[in-house]
Structure formats: C-alpha cells, structure tokens
C-alpha cells in the first residue's frame, strides 16, 4: 500500500514501518550504551553510526534474499531483475535472521567487541520490531490465518476479519504480535530486572532463538498458506526454516554449556 507519492517516488507504508523501527531501535541502543556498561565502548558515536548501517543493510539484504531463495526462487530465476523490486514483494524473517547474524559478526570483529555482548544488545529490541511488523501485516491484510467457520464468526474473541473477499479469516497477526512482542518482552524484562543478562551474556540471544522458533512453528498451523508452501508431512516452508533455527539453538546451547563460563 502506498502512503503518499513524491513524483516519481512512491512512499509505501511498509517502508515507513521499517524506518520507524530502525529509528526507535537506534535511540534504544543509544540509551543502553549511555546509561549502562552493557558493552565496553571507546568511541560511542562511531559505534552507533556503524551498527545502524550494518543492521539496516543486512536486515534488508537478508530479508529480501531470504524471500527470494526460500519462498519464490523459480519466479526470480526467470525474472532476476525483479529481485530489486522491493515494493512488489515481501521479506522473509529467516533471511533477515541470517543477515543480522552476519552483521553482528562483522560489526563485532571491526570494533573488537565480544560477539555475545553485541548479539544480546541487538536482540534486546527485536520483540518491538516483530510487533510492529505483525501490526502492519494485520493492517495490510497479509499473512492472515485460516478461514473461519460459521460458528467461530459468531464469537468475537476469534478475531475474524474480511480481506476484500467473501471469506472471513482468523486474524492470527494479532495473536502473533502478542506472543512475539508482549510475552517475549516480559521475559526479557524479567531477566534484565534480575540482572541475569549481566552475569550470563548470550542469554537473551539463546532465549530469543528458542522462543521464536517454537512459537513461530506452532503459529504456522493456524496461518493460511498457498498449496506450494506446504511441503513434506504437511509442514510449511516456514516451519522447516524454524526447525533449522531451532537446531541452531541446540548448537549454541551446547557450545555455551561446553564452555561452562560467562560468555
């Protein structure tokens, strides 16, 4: 959906949501490094400028390429130039996840910082970005749930909505926004309040990967999918990607336990 146009440039709501997320994230990171000793930084201005560029670049690049390779590769093989038509096609969380991982590694290496501290610092704000994304999905009528039956449409707590058709769909975007932000944020804040993250670096990152991969896997069962998105055992492409992310969590947890010390 187009918010407004400055001829010949069209400004989309999706772009506005991304911009708001990055701006809020930037000021959140600035507040954390100014008010705490979470990360030992010599040059805060250089740190903030670099981390913003790294995250924006790799989130957008990873999210876009993730959608291309994981969800619609045949289409883009025949029309590769449309990879750059970011206003016409979606982004993918799994791709953005990989992009953020690359960004954190390169950024930590450049500034000679602990990868674990940088990772926790970035993950700390991710629930808000996920919430904003799901709210936009709801407003734009995309990534909706399965069709509601006549019975469920008579009960408001099923949150059914019409998307320009004669059918009603479960508004799972609202459920996802609650589980991916409010609940996860509450867990994060509890850990921060207990000061566990200061004693146990990488804790937020490991919890986020575990929590999101499991919740997203389960929520996929109530989301509507095109037929070509359903693969073996009746699982969607996103669910298989979540399984891979869960395996990553197992590996990270193993490495953490093996080191048996503060990371």
The CA distance from 54 to 67, in Å, is 20
For the segment 113-140, what is each residue's pLDDT rounded down to a tens digit? 878 778 888 887 777 778 887 887 787 7
The CA distance from 110 to 50, in Å, is 10
> Contact 71/237 with Cβ under 8 angstroms?
yes
Closest CA to 171 of 136, 149, 199, 143: 143
- CB-based contacts of 218, cutoff 8 Å, min separation 6: none
Element at 160 (helix H, strand E): strand 160-162
User: What's the confidence (pLDDT) of residue 157?
Assistant: 52
The CA distance from 85 to 64, in Å, is 10
For the segment 184-237, what is each residue's pLDDT rounded down to a tens digit? 888 887 777 766 665 566 778 888 888 889 998 998 888 888 777 888 888 988
Q: Which tokens in the block code for residue 136? A: 């936009």
Torsion angles phi and psi, residue 196, rounded to 5: -70, -30
Torsion angles phi and psi, residue 125, rounded to 5: -100, -5
């Amino acid at each position: 959906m187009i918010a407004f146009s400055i001829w010949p440039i069209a400004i989309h709501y999706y772009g506005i949501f991304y911009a708001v997320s990055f701006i809020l994230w930037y000021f959140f990171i600035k507040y954390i490094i100014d008010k705490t000793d979470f990360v030992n930084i010599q040059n805060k201005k250089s740190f903030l400028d670099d981390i913003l560029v790294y995250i924006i670049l790799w989130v957008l690049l990873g999210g876009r390429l993730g959608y291309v390779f994981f969800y619609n590769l045949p289409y883009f093989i025949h029309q590769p130039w449309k990879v750059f038509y970011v206003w016409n096609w979606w982004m993918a969380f799994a791709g953005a996840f990989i992009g953020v991982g690359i960004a954190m590694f390169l950024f930590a290496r450049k500034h000679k910082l602990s990868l674990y501290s940088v990772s926790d610092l970035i993950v700390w704000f991710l629930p808000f970005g996920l919430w904003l994304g799901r709210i936009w999905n709801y407003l734009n009528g995309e990534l909706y749930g399965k069709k509601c039956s006549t019975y469920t449409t008579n009960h408001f707590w099923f949150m059914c909505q019409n998307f320009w058709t004669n059918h009603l769909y479960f508004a799972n975007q609202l459920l996802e926004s609650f589980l991916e932000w409010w609940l996860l944020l509450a867990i994060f804040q509890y850990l921060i309040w207990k000061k566990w993250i200061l004693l146990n670096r990488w804790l937020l990152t490991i919890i986020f990967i575990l929590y999101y991969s499991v919740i997203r896997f389960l929520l996929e069962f109530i989301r509507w999918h095109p037929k070509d998105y359903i693969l073996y055992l009746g699982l969607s492409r996103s669910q298989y990607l979540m399984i891979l992310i869960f395996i990553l969590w197992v590996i990270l947890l193993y490495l953490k336990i093996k080191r048996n010390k503060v990371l």
